[in-house]
Structures are given as C-alpha cells and as structure tokens.
Chain A
Amino acid sequence: MAGTQFTEKEMKKIKSYGRPAVGWFCTYTPLEIFEAAELTPVRISGAHGPTSLGDSLMHTNICPFIKSLVDEFESGTLDFLDALVLTNGCDAQRRLYEIVRSRKPGIPVFLLQVPKKDGDEHIERFAGEIDELKNWIETTFKKEIDDKKLLDAMDLYRYLRARLRGYDGARRRQPPKVKGSYVMEVMLQVLRMPAPLALKLLDEEESIIKYREFPVGPRLLLYGNMMDDPGFLRLVEKYGGHVMMDEVCPGRRFWNIPEPRPDKPFCRSLARAYLTKSPCSRMAASKTAVDVVKELVAHQDPDGVIVYTLKFCDTHLYDVPRLRTALDEMNVKALFLESDYSQGAGQAATRVQAFIEMLKETRGTIPRDNTN
C-alpha cells in the first residue's frame, strides 16, 4: 500500500489544538467561517508517492493529487476529520466528493459551489453559498456564528495573510533571507492549524530568518496548479536555482486575496474577496491566471519561469499554449514540467538541472532586490 501523509504524530498535533478538525484544500474555501466556529482548518494532501486504492476507484485520467487523497481516505488516515468541505473547483474534486460521501458516511461533507466569474450577480450567488456553508457548519457543530465572531475571524485572516505576504517577501530580498522550499514548508504547516497559532508560528519563523542570508543563483518564478511538494523546490535549490516567487495552490493563491470590506452582509464581503483573488485557471473572471503570470514576470523580472502541471488538470493544460506564447513574447525562458504527484523523478531532475545551467550561461547572476 502507498505511504500516507497523515502520520499518528500529525494527527495528535491537530487534536492537541482542542478544536474539531475540518478538512479542506481548495483555496476558494473561506477559512474565516471555520475560525468563527472555532474549528481547526486542516489542509488535506496526499503522500507524494505511487497511488493504489485511488487507482481502483478512479479512472486513469483523473488528477493524481485527488487520487492520492482517495488513498488517504480509503486507508483510514483521514478518519479523524470531523467534517470536510470541498468545492466544485474541478471535476476530479466533485468525484472525490462522491467517493467520500458514499464510502465515509462518518465524515459530514459539504460541496461549496464556486462561480467562475466575478461580476456582481456571481458575487451575490457565491455569498449565498458561503451563507449556506455557515448554516451547515452551525448545524453540524451545534455552534452559532454571529456577526461579531465572523468579523473577528475576517480580521484575523486579513492579518494572517498580510503576515504571510511579508514572510514570503523575505525570499525576494537581496540576498534572500529564506529559501523557497522553506517558505513552502512553513506555509503547509500554517494551513493545518488555527489562525492564532499560525501567527505565533510566523513570529518564531521571522525571528529565525532575520539573521539569515542565502547566496542567490538564477531567480525563478514557479507557476502551477497544485504544487505542495517542498522536495521539488529543494531539487531546484540543489542545482543552484532560487524559487523567489510562486503562483501556485496553496502558495500565493492562498494569501493574495484583497482585504474583505467590513461591510454587512459579511458573507458578501467574503464572496467578493475570494472571487477576485489570485485566480485558479478554472476561472473566467476579469483577470485570468495567464494575466497574473504576465504581471508577475513584468514586475519581478525573473531569470526563468518553471510551469509545473499536475497531470490531467484540463483547465490548467488548456492555458499552457497561451502561457507559452505569452512568455515567449516577454522573452523569458520557461521550463514546462508535467508531474504525476510522485517524488524524485530522474527525468525532472535532468530538466531542472539543464534549465538552471542554461540560465546561468545566458542570464548570469545579476544581484537584484525584489522586495516589492
């Protein structure tokens, strides 16, 4: 059987927060609702290894991340969850919803319908969905979420996201104060704990990195759909590359959300903020995922871009040709990789190494400060 992500130790840690645990992973999930009900948000993910049970329940052409989650559910490691919130972000996620609902009757599960556009009528519709999620959480956990609790939670997450933005910026200093792989590790921890504890963790981390400095090689922008493997970033670092910025789930797409206005109804403020955040490639909103990459390249002037794709993510893959053209026009080198969510593929290593060698030869290393 495949390895699993949630070890005994990890579960104990989550339980030690003394709050009911609710699973999530799509960055369109408004965690403010969980915080207002005093729940621990637990970003679920799979082990970066071969899947087995997932393959028996799902077709070969299904996202390997979702399959690895099926492995986690089927092997029972996620049985500790008190609830689960999924979204209609992609077809694979909806299949996961069906599997959990039919095979894990002990875990209450909610499917949040996220619109693809960000016009007023879509915001109104999403506000209704968030309100329904709020009612569902209240009923499931027998708790009341009043306006004050929700406003406090919104404040807390606004602050947490600002702090994450600041922490993330440390890798764009000259010289960088933190490596990209480390930022991702911290991020993954933050997404599995209540926001007040996440802030404490960030305090500690910031005091650690204050005095650190790292030599910098080619500075890279990492763009992708789901990318939660610090091991891949360590591979980039091994060959002398520096991932100075990412636009992936759960990285920048988690914290790059406009501040929700403290206007009532709060669910509408949240809906507006989430629908106008750094977009997933599924969105048909006013700003597309490709627009964001173009903006980042223009502002940050990276030496190269790594476009990382989890296999079978159709909406992301449809963007790839447009992205290729856009990056070509901007005269920035790009490496396109497709991954099956398993670690340490030798072929990926060769491509990454060759890409970094190429950048060193053609761009050299020019010290630049990218704090802003």
Chain B
Amino acid sequence: MITLGIDLGSNTIKTVVLEDGRDVLGSCVRKSGYDTKIITDECVREALSQAGAKFDDIKKIVATGYGRVSCDIAHKEISEITCHGKGAYFRMPEARTIIDIGGQDSKVISLSDNGKVIDFVMNDKCAAGTGRFLEVMATALGVALDDFGEISGKADKMIDISNTCTVFAESEVISLLARREPVENIIAGLHKSIASRVLALASRLRIQEPVVLTGGVAKNLGIKRALETVGKINIGIPVSPQTIGALGAALHAYALTLK
C-alpha cells in the first residue's frame, strides 16, 4: 500500500512515497519558488517515478509545513512538529530529542520512549537561528551555502557573532570581511551563533540524549560540529535529514489507512 507525505516548507518542498508504512520508495526536494502548486506537482511526480508508482496508487496523502493548509490534494494536514517526531523516530528509534533547523524556523522536540511528542519549543518570530540566516550570510560572503560545512572545517577559531538579528549579523559579517578575518573563521562563527541560539531554545526543555538533527541545515556538517562543541553533546544525523518531515507525513498517512 502506497502513501504520500508532502512537506511544504518555507524554502523547499519535500515529498516521500512510502510503501506499507515501512519502505521509502521515492523522495524529492525542490526549491519552493513562485508557484507552490506547480512545484508540488513536480515533486510528487518525481517521487512517484522513483517509486515506479502512479498517482492513483496512493491510498492517503498528508501535508505538513507552512504551506500545509493550501495543499488541496492532501487528505489531512498535520503540524511539522508531529511529523518530524514521527519521521525521526522511524529512522532513529533511540532518539529522545530532535533539533530541526528549517528554512525559517527552528524547533526542538522531546520524544517519549515510544516515540510520542511530549514537549516542544519553536523559535520566536525571527529568522536568526534558521536556515535563512545562513542563506543571507552566504550571499554577504559570496560563498556557496553548500560549501559552508567544508570551509568551516578549516577554521582555527570561531568568531563571536551576534545571534539575535539576521540584519545586524549581516553587517557584522561585512565588517569582519573588511577587517580581513579569514572566511573560514567567520563561517565557523556563524555556525556557533546558530548553535548557541538553538541550544538556548532547547534549554527550555530537558535535553535528553540521543539528540538528532533534522531539516535542510543538517546537511551542513559545520552546524553539527558547532552544536556538539557548544552544547557538549553528541548529535546524530538520520539518513536524508531534509525529508524527515515528509517521511513523518507519509507515516501518518499510512496510519490513516489503518483506521
């Protein structure tokens, strides 16, 4: 039995095609762009083609993410917190804390031993401590975001950068460049800035290890390193961290078919 999960994030759209609530047959990640509906359709088609399945094979569809309310093909909309909980638990059942850093928000979720969400916190209405923060900085530095992880690995120190406002931090970065600070140290500083912001958020909950990192930003290993250094914790990253939300949605869709 085939189910589909769609995660309509602020920055990217993710789809996961799941068989019998067990095997991921296909998945896709695309930039959200101007027309969400067209991109969603493309994303669904791509995941289905990987799975070798047709749209009519899908039994249930669940949507999550900011765009969840406007997804007219979904049978149900579920918050991204519940979906990240389900997805992360499926991939790493030992996980007790999930740190999800997405395009425009970051959240920390506590899971019970049987994988249920027992508490969560989200960032305030601000892009500091999110993927958007890094995107703005990538533009300011003239460095591709995908290279952040590798470049920051060469840093010999993490520069202190303000973590409360994306706009102020951007001008700080520009001043640092003017002072000829090595770019790897600046990027390492940016990672530290996000890590301390997210860990401050997490401290409102009781952080229980193992901790897993999900969301698009988890692809950047510099963030993992910074979280481990600042928080003195070990961080695990599941397979395909960016599609964990969509996976959780597909799992929820499977649960719907059993009702």
Contacts and interface: CB of A to CB of B under 8 A. Distances in A.
On whether the two chains bind one another, the answer is: yes
B116 A362 contact: yes
Interface stretch (B44-52, B78-86, B170-178): B78-86
A358 B116 CA distance: 8
User: What interface size band does chain A fall in?
Assistant: 10 to 19
Interface in A306-356: 333, 338, 345-347, 350-351, 353-354
A263 interface: no
A358 B125 contact: no
B211 interface: no
Contact of A347 (B78, B117, B119, B125): B125
B66 A354 contact: no
Tell me if B's interface is mostly helix, strand, loop or mixed: mixed
A361 B81 contact: no
B116 A361 contact: yes
Interface in B89-119: 105, 112, 116-119
Query: Which one of B78, B118, B119 has the greatest number of beta carbons of chain A within 10 Å?
Result: B119
User: What interface size band does chain B fall in?
Assistant: 10 to 19
B135 interface: no
Contact of B122 (A333, A351, A357, A361): A351
Contacts of A347: 105, 122, 125
A333 B119 contact: yes
Interface string B119-136: 110101100000000000
Nearest to A340: B125
B207 to A, nearest CB: 15
Given A345-B125, A347-B125, A357 B79 contact: yes
A350 B80 CA distance: 8
B105 to A, nearest CB: 7
Tell me if A's interface is mostly helix, strand, loop or mixed: helix
Contacts of A362: 112, 116-118
Contacts of B79: 350, 353-354, 357
Contacts of A346: 66
Query: Which one of A333, A338, A354, A357 has the greatest number of beta carbons of chain B within 10 Å?
Result: A354
Contact of A358 (B66, B82, B122): B82
A333 B118 CA distance: 8
Contacts of B78: 353, 357
A358 B118 contact: yes
Contacts of B120: 354, 358
Contacts of A350: 66, 79-81, 122
Nearest to B252: A357
A357 B117 contact: yes
Interface in B61-92: 66, 78-82
Given A350-B80, A350-B122, A351-B122, A358 B105 contact: no
A358 B79 CA distance: 10
A281 B82 CA distance: 33
Interface string A20-49: 000000000000000000000000000000
A274 B124 CA distance: 36
Contacts of B81: 350, 354, 357-358
A120 to B, nearest CB: 42
A333 B120 CA distance: 10
Interface in B117-170: 117-120, 122, 124-125
B82 A357 contact: yes
Nearest to A338: B124
A55 to B, nearest CB: 17
Query: Which one of B79, B112, B116 has the greatest number of beta carbons of chain A within 10 Å?
Result: B79
Contacts of A358: 81-82, 116-120
Contacts of A361: 82, 116-117
Nearest to B124: A338
Contacts of A345: 125
A333 B110 CA distance: 13
Contacts of A351: 122
B82 A354 contact: yes
Contacts of B112: 362
B124 A354 contact: no
A347 B118 CA distance: 19
Nearest to B10: A346
A357 B66 CA distance: 16
Contacts of B66: 346, 350
Given A358-B116, A362-B117, 15 more contacts: A333-B119, A345-B125, A350-B81, A351-B122, A353-B79, A354-B81, A354-B82, A357-B78, A357-B79, A358-B117, A358-B118, A358-B119, A358-B120, A361-B82, A362-B118
What 4 pairs between A and B have smallest CB-CB spacing?
A354-B81, A354-B79, A353-B79, A357-B82
10 contacts: A345-B125, A346-B66, A354-B82, A357-B78, A357-B79, A358-B118, A361-B117, A362-B112, A362-B117, A362-B118
